[in-house]
Amino acid sequence: MSKKIIMSQDDIRRTLARIAHEIIERNKSADHLILVGIHTRGVPLARRLADNLGRFEKAEIPVGALDFSLHRDDLPFLETRNLIHRTEIPVNIDNQSIVLVDDVLYTGRSVRAAMDTLIDLGRPLSIQLAVLIDRGHREMPIRADYVGKNIPSSRHEDIRVSLVETDGLDEVAIVSPTHRETSREITNQQRSGYDTDQ
CATH of the domain at 129: 3.40.50.2020
| pLDDT for res 192 | 39
SS3 of 37, please? Answer: strand
User: Phi/psi class of residue 139: alpha, beta or left (left: φ > 0; alpha: ψ in -120 to 50)?
Assistant: alpha
| pLDDT for res 198 | 44
Does residue 40 fall inside a structural domain? yes
Does residue 181 fall inside a structural domain? no
Does residue 115 fall inside a structural domain? yes
- What range defines the domain where residue 103 resides? 9-152
State how far the alpha carbon of 146 is from the alpha carbons of 70, 79, 103, in Å: 26, 32, 12
Question: What pLDDT digit, counting tens, does each position of 12-38 carry?
Answer: 999 999 999 999 999 998 899 999 999
Q: Which of 14, 11, 56 is nearest to 33 (CA)?
A: 56
Does residue 171 fall inside a structural domain? no
* Residues lower than pLDDT 70 in the chain: 72-85, 179-198
Does residue 184 fall inside a structural domain? no
Does residue 187 fall inside a structural domain? no
| pLDDT for res 70 | 76
In the chain, the number of structural domains is 1
Does residue 29 fall inside a structural domain? yes
